[in-house]
């Protein structure tokens, strides 16, 4: 009985081995595949699945050009094609079909190629300096100089639906990038084995969006564990103890900025001072000698000290204070990615939750670390789609932080040209950049006054301090000074076609040349001025003056004084050619000889003058509404989205409206149309100055910044 059982088991084993051998013949093992000829010496393998989708010269790898030339001439003749595997370094390729190779298929393909074709055996051939052979569904083509050797390669899989794949063969475990070529760009997916990760993926755009600027040239997000796993420099630094969820590396205003959410509510400066045993005062913003942050950030550090700062649970590290100030201002202005950001629209095509995300001028990338796998996604823009990013519009605002509360300021023509008064100091900015600082012993009696000169964007600045006058240029250099005892705010007007400024003494008005400081005119006037302005009435240059008892016009040529009919207590403001008073029925515009009733109630406010469609008229406003009147008749009326209009600043073709409750600005054009939906925060005075031949520049306060 035992003998029979033994014979049965022996027969069963023989049948099993026979079945295994038969199946092995039908399904060649990995070692018998021509793909085993590839190895580490190839560097990488390019697997082209859909050659019609691929421009071989745009492959994102420096491939063997001989291999590419052969494929370029063959790809139009492929039938039943599956994949072409090309070596990056060697003249070696494997072509696979959905069906089996036959010699007629081989001849049909290669006889139309770039080299001569010659059959050398039942399944072998020569193709120029290449030798070839085929077996079942695979064909190998290799240079005469190559001695083929098989390798026991690790298993790998490519996605046959991708346009092409890139197989990395320079590590014990091969990894694969799958590329999907689309009209707007190329999408890449790859997976890689890693040690187990227990941390969750992060929605970085939601987490850090409120702290990011509207525009930047580079963005990298790191989840905390991924940062310290992949970046050995950061692992050596102090931030491992304080980063809570992750960090973002930005390039903004040409400066690197590293920001992150913090574990502790303590200030970042205090934490770093304690870490490095510094005894410095723990100010919110401080400077420390350069220390390890992350490799991407530290590569761009060219200064000895880094600025560190924190607020609202977010830490900031940068090499440039001005860039940090500009970023913080944008956060305060709500110009963040949580509000809108065209630069990040494309990032939304990447996985929302990730461990790493990168945006550069040419590509987008993300990594998701799930359990023991790293899943990579990359989007590379086509050349034609990069151009709009490389030709971005000029930034439409500047930010200026003098480092102290702003007492007053004077906006100059052009963009970002400002003189700021702080406590005991004057500060000058040109094109948004700090250019000079000067101490001054006492507060100015009036804010600095912009003086127009005969040259475009060459303003002078008048400073009024302790009764003395000093006129400086944009760089803070004194041009001339006038000693004396003056009162009332200086004004600017025209006299004999020259730009002049007027000063008031107790018994006279004195007018000086803006260009030279030369005294040009004296006019006797003994009443105390409450308000005055340069006017042009009936072609005559002069000044309108309001005193306690009267409102008058004084011609500069002869000093002739003419009184307006309106009462001083009903005075509202000066226009360029008259004065506005509150009348019995409504507002009234007074010239020297007649007055005109305006179709708005007398409790409305006067907002200045503009020119619309060639007609000069006045602006009036109340609550949410602003109107434009010409000769007293309403030409247009606009209701704004503001809760209430508190201030109006008018330029030649632009009207700026400010809401003190919402702390924001709205712009309307000379026809009363709201220009855009842009958020423009403002918490103080607004000044509008010329920019170029027809543009305007708006300067206003926000916290301790000027915009």
Q: What's the 3-state SS for 447-485?
A: CCEEECCCCCCCCEEEEEECCEEEEECCCCCEEEEECCC
- Helix H or strand E segment including 4: helix 2-26
Residues 150 and 299 in one domain: no
**For residue 14, what pLDDT is reported?**
40
Residue 18 lies in a domain: no
CB distance 400 to 432 below 8 Å: yes
Residues 434 and 542 in one domain: no
**For residue 10, what pLDDT is reported?**
38
- Helix H or strand E segment including 610: strand 605-612
**What does residue 576 show for φ and ψ, rounded to 5 degrees?**
-70, -15
The residues facing 93 across adjacent strands are 86, 141
Query: What sections of 239-309 are H helices per DSSP?
Result: 268-275, 295-298
Residue 240 lies in a domain: yes
Tokens of 334: 């709500």
Residue 621 DSSP one-character state: E
**For residue 12, what pLDDT is reported?**
40
Assign residue 657 the CATH number of its domain.
2.40.10.480
Residues 307 and 382 in one domain: yes
Where residue 551 falls (left for φ over 0; alpha for ψ -120 to 50; beta otherwise) is beta
Residues 679 and 559 in one domain: no
**For residue 401, what pLDDT is reported?**
82
CB distance 263 to 242 below 8 Å: yes
Residue 38 lies in a domain: yes
**For residue 196, what pLDDT is reported?**
82
Residues 331 and 372 in one domain: yes
Q: How far apart are CA 341 and CA 498, in angstroms?
A: 48
**For residue 354, what pLDDT is reported?**
92
The residues facing 471 across adjacent strands are 462, 480
Residues 176 and 196 in one domain: no
Residues 516 and 445 in one domain: no
DSSP character string of 102-134: -HHHHHHHHTTSSS-EEE-SSSEEEETTEEEEE
**For residue 508, what pLDDT is reported?**
93
Residue 429 lies in a domain: yes
Whole-Å CA distances, 155 to 20, 31, 159, 160, 189: 21, 11, 14, 16, 18
Residue 350 CB-half CA count within 13 A = 30
Residue 390: burial class (beta carbons within 10 Å; 0-12, 13-18, 19+): exposed
Assign residue 434 the CATH number of its domain.
2.40.10
**For residue 342, what pLDDT is reported?**
52
Q: How far apart are CA 224 and CA 233, in angstroms?
A: 14
| Residue numbers in the chain where pLDDT is lower than 70 | 1-31, 57-60, 62, 280-282, 334-349, 381-397, 455-457, 693
Residues 590 and 641 in one domain: no
Provide the residue count of the chain.
707
Q: What is the pLDDT of residues 347-377, one digit of tens each?
A: 666 788 999 999 877 778 889 998 888 888 8
Tokens of 312: 């609202």
Q: How far apart are CA 618 and CA 131, in angstroms?
A: 89
Residue 595 CB-half CA count within 13 A = 19
Residues 144 and 223 in one domain: no
Residue whose C-alpha is closest to residue 687's, from 660, 658, 663? 658
Residues 172 and 205 in one domain: no
Residue 231 lies in a domain: yes
**For residue 345, what pLDDT is reported?**
58
Structural domain for 43, as ranges:
30-181
Residues 153 and 56 in one domain: yes
**For residue 440, what pLDDT is reported?**
81
Residue 697 lies in a domain: yes
Residue whose C-alpha is closest to residue 89's, from 167, 151, 152? 167
**For residue 18, what pLDDT is reported?**
40
Domain-terminating residue out of 553, 578, 603: 603
Residues 535 and 631 in one domain: no
Residue 10 lies in a domain: no
CB distance 236 to 210 below 8 Å: no
**For residue 7, what pLDDT is reported?**
43
How many structural domains comprise the chain? 5
DSSP character string of 181-217: E-SSEEEEEEEEEEEEE-SPPB-HHHHHGGGS-S--S
Please give the angle made by the CA atoms of 254, 255 and 259, to the nearest 5 degrees. Answer: 135
Residue 23 lies in a domain: no
Assign residue 566 the CATH number of its domain.
2.40.128
Rg (C-alpha) for the chain, rounded Å, is: 39
Residue 667: burial class (beta carbons within 10 Å; 0-12, 13-18, 19+): middle
Domain-terminating residue out of 336, 360, 390: 390
Domain-terminating residue out of 181, 207, 228: 181
């Amino acid at each position: 009985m035992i003998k029979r059982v033994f014979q049965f088991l022996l027969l069963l084993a023989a049948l099993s081995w026979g079945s295994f051998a038969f199946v092995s013949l039908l399904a060649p093992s990995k070692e018998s595949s021509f793909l085993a000829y590839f190895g580490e010496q190839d560097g990488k393998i390019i697997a082209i699945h859909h050659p019609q989708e691929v421009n071989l010269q745009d492959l994102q790898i420096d491939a063997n050009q001989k291999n590419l030339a052969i494929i370029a001439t063959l790809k139009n003749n492929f039938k039943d094609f599956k994949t072409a595997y090309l070596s990056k370094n060697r003249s070696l390729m494997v072509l696979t079909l959905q069906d089996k190779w036959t010699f007629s298929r081989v001849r049909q393909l290669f006889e139309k190629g770039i080299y001569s074709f010659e059959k050398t055996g039942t399944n072998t051939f020569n193709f120029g300096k290449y030798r070839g052979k085929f077996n079942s569904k695979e064909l190998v083509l290799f240079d005469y100089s190559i001695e083929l050797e098989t390798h026991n390669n690790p298993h790998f899989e490519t996605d046959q639906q991708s346009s092409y794949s890139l197989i990395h063969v320079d590590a014990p475990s091969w990894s694969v990038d799958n590329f999907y070529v689309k009209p707007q760009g190329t999408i890449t997916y790859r997976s890689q084995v890693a040690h187990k990760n227990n941390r969750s993926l992060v929605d970085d755009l939601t987490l850090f969006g409120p702290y990011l600027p509207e525009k930047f040239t580079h963005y990298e997000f790191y989840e905390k564990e991924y940062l310290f796993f992949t970046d050995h420099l950061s692992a050596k630094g102090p931030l491992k103890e304080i980063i809570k969820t992750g960090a973002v590396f930005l390039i903004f205003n040409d400066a690197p900025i590293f920001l992150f959410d913090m574990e502790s509510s303590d200030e970042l400066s205090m934490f770093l001072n304690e870490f490095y045993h510094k005894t410095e005062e723990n100010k919110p913003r401080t400077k420390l000698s350069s220390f390890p942050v992350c490799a991407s950030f530290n590569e761009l550090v060219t200064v000895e000290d880094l600025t560190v700062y924190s607020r609202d649970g977010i830490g900031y590290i940068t090499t440039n204070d001005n860039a940090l100030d500009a970023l913080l201002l944008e956060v305060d202005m709500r110009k963040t990615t949580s509000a809108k950001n065209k630069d990040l629209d494309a990032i939304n095509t990447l996985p929302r939750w990730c461990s790493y995300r990168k945006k550069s001028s040419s590509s987008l990338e993300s990594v998701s670390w799930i359990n023991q796998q790293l899943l990579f996604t990359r989007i590379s823009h086509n050349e034609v789609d990069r151009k709009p990013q490389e030709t971005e519009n000029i930034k439409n605002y500047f930010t200026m932080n003098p480092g102290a509360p702003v007492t007053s300021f004077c906006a100059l023509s052009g963009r970002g040209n400002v003189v700021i008064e702080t406590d005991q100091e004057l500060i000058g900015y040109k094109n948004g950049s700090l250019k000079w600082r000067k101490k001054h012993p006492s507060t100015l009696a009036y804010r600095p006054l912009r003086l127009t000169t005969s040259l475009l964007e060459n303003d002078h600045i008048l400073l009024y301090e302790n009764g003395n006058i000093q006129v400086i240029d944009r760089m803070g250099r004194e041009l001339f000074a006038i000693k004396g005892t003056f009162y009332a705010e200086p004004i600017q007007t025209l006299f004999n076609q020259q730009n002049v400024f007027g000063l008031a003494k107790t018994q006279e008005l004195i007018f000086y040349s803006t260009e030279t400081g030369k005294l040009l005119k004296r006019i006797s006037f003994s009443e105390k001025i409450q308000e005055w302005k340069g006017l042009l009435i009936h072609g005559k240059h002069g000044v309108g003056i309001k005193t306690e008892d009267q409102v008058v016009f004084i011609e500069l040529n002869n000093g002739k004084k003419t009184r307006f009919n309106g009462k001083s207590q009903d005075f509202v403001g000066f226009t360029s050619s008259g004065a506005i008073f509150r009348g019995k029925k409504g507002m009234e515009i007074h010239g020297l000889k007649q007055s005109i009733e305006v179709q708005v109630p007398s409790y409305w406010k006067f907002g200045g003058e503009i020119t619309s469609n060639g007609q000069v008229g006045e602006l009036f406003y109340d609550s949410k509404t602003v109107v434009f009147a010409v000769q007293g008749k309403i030409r247009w009326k606009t209701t704004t989205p503001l809760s209430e209009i508190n201030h109006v600043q008018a330029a030649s073709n632009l009207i700026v409206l400010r809401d003190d409750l919402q702390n924001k600005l709205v712009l309307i054009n000379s026809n009363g149309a709201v220009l855009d939906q842009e958020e423009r925060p403002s918490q103080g005075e607004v000044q509008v100055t010329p920019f170029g031949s027809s543009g305007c520049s708006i300067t206003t306060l926000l916290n301790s910044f000027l915009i």
